[in-house]
Structure 1
Amino acid sequence: MDADFQLDRPLKDARIVVAMSGGVDSSVVAALAAASGAETIGVTLQLYDHGAAVGRKGACCAGQDIRDARAVADRLGIAHYVFDYETAFRASVIDQFADEYAAGRTPIPCVRCNQGVKFTDLFRVARDLGADCLATGHYVRRVVGAHGPELHRAADPARDQSYFLFATTDAQLDFLRFPLGHMPKPRVREIATGLSLGVAAKPDSQDICFVPDGDYAGIVRKLRPEAGEPGDIVDLAGRVIGRHRGLIHFTIGQRRGIEVGGSPEPLYVIRVEPETRRLVVGRRAALAVRGARLSEMNWIGGPSHEPITAKVRSLAKPVPARMEGDRILFDSPEYGVAPGQAAVLYAGDRVLGGGWIQETEAAELVAA
């Protein structure tokens, strides 16, 4: 159960704070920290009232998950604290998620959560507790390079979470540790089973933690009712060809749910126009993008002279690209690039950073 926490002093003299969500990953991180001989403290942030907000099990940071984290801490014999950050989470993540959807954008609340309550407020808590580092259950690797710590993809590509951590700052990375980055998931569950942790067989979190059953539209409609109003479906020339039941049900690149009859070929969402409540649809060719303008750029670690690749969706494959100022240009047309998502830059397995997609540049003019 050895884990390298990359500290400059003996682990027996160190204090490690572990972010415990109540899942198997963070529970095993706590077990690794405790086994290292370091003083280990588990911290859980209560981010919402699980029952009132979503009424669903298997997410994180509320209800049963907090009880699971406490039970693991008791099993390991470590201290465990719960801090209420529900108000901050609602303002910085849930409300922002609803606003983005209402504005016709495609948000990534997991990144905003890492930027906010997890990697800002949780950092403050860990430092107040006198920690030498903050360890989390993310599947990424922290590699010390020539210019300091670098963020790298996880050894297990199927578990890699680097896309969601592109906004991590150098100062944060200096304090963070990711003990699971070199492990496959079966090994993590094996460790949990060997220690008789109650969460060993607990299912992984699915969808966004505060969204019940993946019903994004339901959450947005509850918080921003106006975003659920119906409107026109139009083609690229602006001709009305149908009606939609609310823009909150659609994102750029989506094919299903477009209720238009008589089209000779499949139609895709090309644009969402919240000001007029219009849904612009067209052939797949109209989704081709040659570049995008990015905002809030974040760079991690020192420079790299390797060719870069970019991911514009969490499940997309990295594609060759280059940066020109605040614009990212793709070597070949990319599809399904949506404002509100992130473009994350890589050099091999190393995460160079990234930014938020503000607007896209069509690859070519497509006839209506």
Structure 2
Amino acid sequence: MEKKKVAVGMSGGVDSSVAAWLLKEQGYEVIGVTMQIWQQESEQVQEEQGGCCGLSAVEDARRVAAMLDIPYYVMNFRAEFQKNVIDYFTEEYLRGHTPNPCIACNRYVKWEALLKRSMAIGADYIATGHYARIRQLPNGRFALQKSAAEGKDQTYALYNLTQQQLARTLMPVGDYTKQEIRAMAEKIGLRVADKPDSQEICFIPDQDYAGFIERERKGAVPPPGNFVTEDGKVLGRHKGITHYTIGQRKGLGIALGVPIFVTELRTETNEVVLGTNDQVFGTELYGDRLNFMSIPELYGELEVTAKIRYNHKGAPCTIQKAGDDRVFCRFHEPVRAITPGQAVVFYDGDIVAGGGTIL
């Protein structure tokens, strides 16, 4: 029987490197692929930032591929990344939302574009080093299952993958802990065994989101405006809504004698609403741009656990349809900082039922 061919997205990090090794050990014909998606800066800058998609990543991935004796390619996905990630990221911020660009990148670049390109070179599957597992359920649908690595699970950022993408994806790392993955890398002599994990948003290494948006949109960003209370009382001046997100406390540049937080961004009046910590909590949200995974669609009410940001532990809630491509979610207890633009992901135990974008 001919061995199945799999294209592994190699970032130069320990997880994707071990993923390639594991699949080769399992008998797959492995091809290494690194996606060039945004890199323009010098190799030295990228090396300092430790990013997952930069120029130094290519050299690390190339060395790993050579050591594993697998073919290796670098594919240019800059156009796809600009359209589906950077343009989306800046547009959402200008709308007063706080987007998650990694989710968009996963769905449209690391899967849609890579899968298409990999199929064109004869691959049967693509694979990544994500901490997640793929299961085919009794109803025939493919769904993500939480990783065996507690605290490393990445299913939240992958909820938007389609059935076709899941059916053609392998995630060998999901069955192991991070310590086990690093131990494997050391055992087989990979130089990247101790390489730090990438952090934050890869295309904004200095984490100055507002500055990035201003450069990207050539200065067409919202001007300074008023900090206000919920009922409209002016408290001071803000630097522009792209500098703020729901729940933010630091960097407000205003002192009222009590702890204050951003509770709302009003783009139509260019106002940033401030309030107490209690005012940051809520019990309801609406979501759109839905993708259901373990079920074909939502009927009636469903009890799930919902995560409203990557590092949120999840909270019990009831969800139901609220029109075409819209869901209503009511939490059993108040949750902190429900943020428009972020993903809400629904779990049935450790299986991803689906998710959407918070309105």
Residue 16 of structure 1 corresponds to: 6
2:301 matches 1:308:
no
Pick aligned residue for 2:174 from 176, 181, 188 = 181
The answer to whether 1:319 aligns with 2:309 is: no
Q: TM-score, normalised by structure 1?
A: 0.89
Q: 1:36 aligns with which of 26, 35, 42?
A: 26
TM-score after normalising by structure 2: 0.91
2:286 & 2:201 partners in 1: Cα distance?
26
**Which of these residues, 231, 240, 248, is aligned with residue 234 of structure 2?**
240
C-alpha deviation, 1:130, in angstroms: 2.1
- The residue type paired with residue 271 of structure 2 is R
User: Is 2:160 the counterpart of 1:170?
Assistant: no
Amino acid at match of 1:142: I
Q: Secondary structure at the match of 1:180?
A: helix
Percent identity of paired positions between Structure 1 and Structure 2: 39
The equivalent residue for 2:324 is none
2:117 corresponds to which residue?
125
List per-residue Cα deviations over 1:315-346 (Å, max 9, x = no partner): 11111111121211111222200110011000
Alignment partner of 1:103 is 2:99: no
Deviation at 1:215, TM superposition (A): 2.2
| Deviation larger for 100-109 or 282-291 | 282-291
Question: 2:302–2:318: 8 Å Cα contact kept in structure 1?
Answer: no
Cα distance change on mapping 1:349 and 1:256 into 2, 3 Å:
same
Moved more, 226-235 or 65-74: 226-235
- 1:58-84 per-position Cα deviation (integer Å, ceiling 9, x unaligned): 112231101111111111110011111
Where does the alignment leave 5 or more consecutive residues of structure 2 unmatched?
A: 322-326
* Match of residue 299 from structure 1: 292
CA distance 1:113–1:332, shift in 2 (3 Å): same
1:258 to 252, 262, 285: 252
CA drift at 1:214? 2.2
Instruction: Note if contact 2:5-2:30 (Cα within 8 Å) is conserved in structure 1.
Output: yes
- For residues 247 and 61 of structure 2, the distance between their equivalents in structure 1, rounded to whole angstroms, comes to 39
Number of aligned pairs? 347
Q: Note the C-alpha offset of 1:157.
A: 1.7
Residues 170 and 301 of structure 1 are in contact (CA less than 8 Å); yes or no, is this contact kept in structure 2? no
Tell me the alpha carbon deviations over residues 80-120 of structure 1, each in whole angstroms, 9 at most, x when there is no partner: 11111112211210121111112210000000001111110
What's the CA shift for 1:306?
Answer: 7.7
Which AA in structure 2 matches 1:110?
C
Note closer, same or farther for the CA distance 1:295–1:54 as it changes in structure 2 (3 Å cut): farther
Give the AA of the match of 1:246: G
**1:6 matched residue in structure 2:** none
Q: Which of 26, 35, 38 is the equivalent residue of 1:48?
A: 38
Q: Give, in whole Å, the separation in 1 of the partners of 2:129 and 2:307.
A: 22
Further displaced range: 195-204 or 213-222: 213-222
Q: Structure 1 residues 53, 86: CA separation in 2 closer, same or farther (over 3 Å shift)?
A: farther
**Residue identity matched to 1:262:** L
CA displacement at 1:269 relative to structure 2: 0.5
